[in-house]
Each structure stands twice: as C-alpha cells, then as structure tokens.
Chains A and B, each alone.
Chain A
C-alpha cells in the first residue's frame, strides 16, 4: 500500500538543550501520516516532550539549543518558517494546562486564536460554537476557566485548538492529572476528531491501556531514540523489552505474553483489551479441555494475615465542610493498622484529598474525631503531627525547598526536633540507599528524581503513618515501581500506609485494603480483591476495576468458576495452564 506523504517528517533529527552535551533527541527519523492517531510512550527523560516540541515547531523557535537534521511540517522546513506559520498546521497543547490558557473565560480562550489568525468576523461565531459542540462543552461557554475541573480545562484547550482547524494536534500528556473516567473521555474526544474531522493526532501518554484502545500506531522512545514503533499489537508483543526500558504493558497483554512464554499460545499477538482476552482464553480452554468445568478452583486470593494490632489511624464518623468550596465529606469511619497498605479510590471530587488533609491535620474535623498515633488531630498542631504522619504529595516541587539533597532530607528531621548531627547522619544513609547525590540541588533534577528526593524525605522520618497522594502520577513505570516497592518495605517495617491513587493497577498490586469513595462518603471498604470484584460498588463509585479483575469476572461467568477472585496476571496464567494440563 502506498503511504500518503507524511504531514510531519523528522529526518535524522538530533537536539540538545542549550550547550548540553547529551542530546535529548538522538538521530530520530519519524513520519506522521495524515489522518493517523499516533501515541508516544517512554520512560521519563526519554525525549518525549522534546519530540512534541520538535513536531510543533517550539523547537527551534522557542527552545534554544543545537538542532541537527530536518523537521518538515506540511512540506516546509520548520527552520525556515515562523512558529506562527507552523501553528496554522499544528495545534499543540502543553503539559501544564493552566499555563496553556491565555484568557479567564472559556469563550475568550477560543476567541484569542480565531482573532489573531484573522478569521473573518462573520465566521467566528459559527466556528466558536461548533468547536465547543464537537468537544461537548457548549454549556461551559461563559464559565470562568479557574472554576473548571482538570478534565474540563483539557477539553477547553482542545476546543481552542479545534476552532483554528489545525490539521495536526500534538498533545503532551493530556491526562496526567485526570482520573480514569476523565482520561477516557479526553481520548474518546480525540478519537472522534481523528475519525470524523480527519485531524491527525499525536499524543504523548503514559496510560498504556488508553494507547492500546485508541492508537493506530505507537512510538516507544528511549534515551532520545525511537526504540520500537508499530501497531499496538506489534509494540506490546515486546513486553519484556519494554519493561526493561521502564514502559508498562497493559495487564491483558502481560497475560498473553506470559502464556506465550509458557508455550501455551503462539507469541507475537498480545491481547489488547479485556473483551479480546476473554474470547481468546475462552476459545483456548474450550478447545483443548472441553467438558472440564469442574477444574479444582485455582489458588486465588492468598489468605492474608489478619491484622490484629491496634489501629494507628482512626476516623470516627468524621464530617468536614470547607467554607465556600465543594470539598465536603460526611461520616467517614475507617481504621488503618501498622503494616497495612490502604488504598483510597474514587473519582475526582469524591473527597479523597479532603480525607488526606484531615489525616495529616491540615483540616480539622467539624464533627467526629481523627486519631493519629493516639493524638487527636484537633488538639495537636499540624506541624507536631508531622513527626508521626509523613505525606508524599503529588507534586514534589511543593515539598522541596532546600539547596541540596542532604539539607532537604535533614530538614524534616530537624523540624521535629532531631539534633542536627543525627539528622544529617540519617539523611546521608537514606540518600545513599536511594542513590541520590548529596550535594545535588533538588530543583535541577528531573521530575522523577525530584519525586525520589521527596520520597526519601518521607522515608528518613521513619513515621508511623505514611500518606501518599497520587504517588505515581507523572512517573514512568520503573520510577513508579521503585516508589511503590519502597512504600511496601516501609509497610513491612510496621508503618501504616494510606494512599490515594487513580491507577487501579497499582492499587490492586499493592493495597491490602481498599476504601471506595464517592460524593464525600465512603461507599464501601474491604480486602482489595473483594472490593474490586464487587461490580455494583465499582459502578456506583464510577471506578473502573483493574483489567485482571474484570477479565477474571468475565471468565468466571463465561468459562469456569476457577477464575473467580483472580487479581494478578499470574493467577490467570496459572489457572489457564492448570486447566490445559
């Protein structure tokens, strides 16, 4: 089949920022064909954002550095046309959605580009309305942007681009700050634009399941180079290599890759969705082991030791309302015991963050009581609670304030009254364990490294309770696993961990107990596998259970009850293998 000539082409492109010797892009050649939907993934520092900047003309026009090779957009070398002219073809949306906005009201945000590019004034109302309509936010037209949710802002940014009728949209991690439901909506919007309006989409994204579902082609970046590229099926058949790079695969792809490694199926065609995996596993089991319906129930749900220690965190019928805001929670009751990892899940606005702030004492309950390590948060200043509860915030930059890593780690200890000498000693040993250089300035490190410094400053406190607010957002798979393994170690040493997390795979891998929240209330809580298997509860909270749990439920219903309760990739693989023997 003859490929249509690409709308954007990178020819052996290398780029390094400023005078830096290490190239952010290293001999990259890539063509984006008109009408394609391309996903870009890779570990942090792989050059994904730099690639986006090169595609949208921000390199060479905005970022200074050394550029080699040629980038052509719509047949013209980006070095020879202005950024403004490139923008007529390529619309780009940056990572920081607040910084993307140029106006304070939605309508003005859309008008800005239309006015500047000199769209005839009689066409403006039509274009404005149709852009809002297409993205599905017509009712937000008069709203102040500051009052919108993250998902809504993302759609406003897309609509503002759409009104200009670009031929290509380049988005840099549009769903990084969004919950799973809003993330899916953003991708569905993009897919519809791609299908109906023929707009070429290039999206940088860490959420592999979304990429699989929507992309025609996936490009995997590593250390400034293209490591893999092809259809989702081709790319994710390299599950093992991807993992080595620090790129996750969808859980269903891991199941099929694992089955292939065990020689159960032919390698090379991983499952990409739950439905696909269900059908294929069903065929496999029916074909080869017909009639074997009463296979001994596998070994799902390893019994976990019951925790008997006294709770170190107790919420007793806690209610709280934040004046002038929607942050309201009602009748929250739960305990967390030493050694336990408790996951809190729910949509944006469910009250999860309010719960965390009640726990670390930033908010004091209006009624009910919060006990942390035996202290009532209402009687204890937040800064004193800090000796018992350590919080890892979503954005490490808010936590860091010192000039060197050593000072940063020692700072928290000194604040809680540990002597300077001992604080530095402890800080030094933790920094070594994390492989952090003691004299490095935290702000000059990469995003993932900054998160590590923030995590190290939590670990060094040796707290009784660790509170994690979206610990994995903005991290690549490898960093995410390092963070979570560290957290697991802390739990094993007897620390109680409470974590708010959008990534259900992470929750199901690490949390023992899960609390489901919606509309400021706790809808249900219990052991992780039971909670996730409760389809009714998941639906009420608008939470999508992890892929493996959904697959297990469907297989248990359609194929064999032996699959019931499986929550890990290995559970499913073992059960399939067991049935085939």
Chain B
C-alpha cells in the first residue's frame, strides 16, 4: 500500500525547482488562502493548486486526497453554522452570516491542506531535507527527524493494518459497520503499535549513528541545491501571491 504523500517521479519544471522554492510556493499559496476574504480569490487559489498538480502529472493523486479533506470541510462548515450567531435566522440554528462564512472556512481548509501535500508529492524527502539544511541552514538533526517521521507514516500504517488483520482473525469485530464501535476497538491497539514504533525508532537512531550521522555538516551533501534563476522568478511570484491575498 502506498501512502498519500509518496513521491511521484517526473521531470516537469515543478519537479526541478529547488525544494526550498517549492516549500515557499506552498507557503505562499497557504498564506494567500488565509489572507483572502473573497470567494473568487479562494477558488482561484484552489484552482491554481490543481493546475500545478495537473502540470506535474499528479492531479489524480491530489483528487484522491479530497476524499479525506472534503468530509473534514463539511464538519467545519457545520461547526461554522452552529457557532456563527450573528445575522438573520434562516432555520433553527442556521443564520445568514453562518451560511455566508461557512463555505469560506471549508474552502480555506482545502486551500491550506492541498498545496503542502502537492509539494511533498513532487519532492524527494531527502532532497527536501538536504536543501533545507543547505539553503535555510536548518540543523540537519531537525531535517532528519522530519523526513524520518514522514517516512515512518506508511510503515506504521502498514503495521496498524497488519495488527488489525491479526485481531480480526482472532474475532475482534473490526469488520463492523459502526464507526464508533470500530474506533473503540482500535484504541487498545495503540499498545502493540507503540511498542513496535519505539523499537523501530531506537533501531533507526542506532543505524544512523553507525553511518556517521554525527559527522554530518552543511557541506556533506553530495547533491548541491543552489537557487537558480527559475527559483528566483518563482519566489517573486510567491511574494506577488501573498500581496494579492492582502489586497483582495
């Protein structure tokens, strides 16, 4: 099973950008989304994300993520309806202001979640870590922790799956249709998962140390990540995007 944020190889401009530039691009779209206050701009930013995904050849994968984000967005929408108490009452607890701002919250959520995931899809984790160390001068320790955490997500989800299968085969009703019951049943599994995770992280720390982790400096990386002309152009666009968010 592959995870949502698996790297998708490619040779587009987006793939070839400096990882730091990509990070900046994602950050700019997110910032603009948070600042934007009009529907056209929110929709345009979301469209921009999908256009970039289409260009990089990963629109399908990004769309798959919507399945996860849209239900969350709906929950946020409902909360917004409940907690917005200003404006005229439409029906029950629903107010006009709630109806006006609710969809915005929903769109913002999508606009914040998707760019970052898109960026991770077109960047190899190692490149991201090395570029952050070289360009942003992030200490390697933090970069390594971050990439390792991301790398372990699918490993742990596989482990969780295997544990659930083993428990189902013992007779635990994970095949129940009741989601709350399922969640209740899943909680005790945190113990075996935690046990195996702690063991794995320990072993990885040892393996890294035995391969010279503590000798690593900013100069170590074999690949270099200089910011070139196309990066500066994209970075300029990023500034423009944020400015757009402030203005509109």
Contacts and interface: CB of A to CB of B under 8 A. Distances in A.
B220 A118 contact: yes
Nearest to A91: B210
Contact of A96 (B125, B147, B163, B203): B203
A440 to B, nearest CB: 15
Nearest to B6: A144
A397 B188 CA distance: 13
Contacts of B225: none
Interface string B182-212: 0000001101100110011111101111111
A400 B209 contact: no
A386 B174 CA distance: 12
A121 B147 CA distance: 23
A382 B1 contact: no
Given A99-B200, A443-B195, A399 B166 contact: yes
Interface stretch (B16-24, B82-90, B148-156): B148-156
Interface in A100-150: 100-105, 108, 111-118, 121, 124, 142, 144, 146
B6 to A, nearest CB: 7
Contacts of B176: 383
Interface residues of B, number: 56
In the complex, which of the residues B124, B151, B212, B215 has the most CB atoms of chain A within 10 Å of its own CB atom?
B212
A84 B199 contact: no
B146 interface: no
Given A398-B166, A400-B192, A401-B192, A100 B207 contact: yes
A308 B147 CA distance: 59
Contacts of B144: 102
B1 A383 contact: no
Contacts of A237: none
Contacts of B223: 111
B200 A98 contact: yes
A114 B191 CA distance: 37
Interface stretch (A23-31, A218-226, A408-416): A408-416
B148 A102 contact: yes
A100 B155 CA distance: 13
Question: Majority SS of interface residues in chain B?
Answer: helix
Contacts of A285: none
A530 B169 CA distance: 33
A117 B166 contact: no
A14 B94 CA distance: 73
B79 to A, nearest CB: 34
A445 interface: no
Nearest to B203: A99
A383 B222 contact: no
A187 interface: no
B171 A412 contact: yes
A115 B124 CA distance: 17
A104 B195 contact: no
Interface in B78-126: 124-126
A331 to B, nearest CB: 24
Interface stretch (A203-211, A387-395, A504-512): A387-395
In the complex, which of the residues B2, B173, B196, B211 has the most CB atoms of chain A within 10 Å of its own CB atom?
B211
B168 interface: yes
B7 A144 contact: yes
A20 interface: no
Contacts of B216: 115-116
B151 to A, nearest CB: 5
Contact of A381 (B126, B159, B175): B175
Interface string B135-149: 000000000100110
Contact of A382 (B124, B125, B175, B212): B175
A91 B212 CA distance: 11
A115 B168 contact: no
Nearest to A142: B9
Contact of A113 (B165, B166, B189, B211): B211
Given A96-B199, A357-B165, A412 B170 contact: yes
B126 A108 contact: yes
B208 to A, nearest CB: 5
A571 to B, nearest CB: 37
Given A98-B200, A383-B173, 15 more contacts: A87-B209, A99-B201, A104-B147, A108-B124, A108-B126, A324-B2, A362-B165, A382-B168, A382-B174, A383-B176, A399-B166, A400-B192, A401-B192, A411-B170, A443-B195
By Cβ-Cβ distance, the 6 closest A-B pairs, closest first, are A116-B212, A386-B171, A99-B203, A415-B171, A113-B211, A398-B166
